[in-house]
Amino acid sequence: MEPGYWIVITLIVAWAAVMLGAMWQANQKALLRHRERLAMIERGLPLPPEPPLMSPWRALQGSATTDDHAVERRMVGFIRFIGILTVAAGIGLYFLLTIIGEWRTGVGFGGMTVIVGSALILTSVRALRQG
């Protein structure tokens, strides 16, 4: 098998491992939250209110209805983080496809991914300046 195929196979396996780890961590977090709530109910303590959910679209628009803007700022920071990851993935995709020998495809797909990530970063920066 050519070295280029091993790179692709390694990336797919690494991506699957990261996704499975993230799902396991989210499951453990939900299980812990459930156990905490059950323990509070057994002791007769009042349950804490659920944290407000923030839509990413409303965070970018700046039309959040919450009094505390910490949730909105955290969501915009998360969108910026996703933009940084997207830019990094685009650069990595470019290098991967260039190593395999498909540099034109690398420029196209890698460049497109970098542009999307840059748009996310610029949109989040604009939303922070407005808010």
Q: Quick one: pLDDT at residue 113?
A: 92
Show pLDDT as tens, one digit a residue, over the chain (131 residues): 677 778 778 888 998 999 999 899 989 999 998 999 999 999 999 988 876 666 666 666 566 555 556 777 778 888 888 999 999 999 998 988 888 888 888 889 889 999 999 999 998 888 877 76
Q: Quick one: pLDDT at residue 62?
A: 60
Task: Compute the distance between CA of residue 33 and CA of residue 45 in angstroms, rounded to an integer.
Answer: 15
Other Cβ atoms less than 10 A from the Cβ of 93: the count is: 20
Task: Compute the distance between CA of residue 74 and CA of residue 65 in angstroms, rounded to an integer.
Answer: 15
Q: Quick one: pLDDT at residue 126?
A: 85
8 A C-beta contact, residue 54 and residue 99: no
Task: Compute the distance between CA of residue 19 and CA of residue 16 in angstroms, rounded to an integer.
Answer: 5
Q: How many residues does the chain have?
A: 131
User: In degrees, to the nearest 5, what angle opens at C-alpha 14 toward C-alphas 82 and 7?
Assistant: 105
Q: Quick one: pLDDT at residue 28?
A: 95
Q: Quick one: pLDDT at residue 40?
A: 92
Q: Quick one: pLDDT at residue 65?
A: 58
Question: Whole-prediction pTM value?
Answer: 0.57
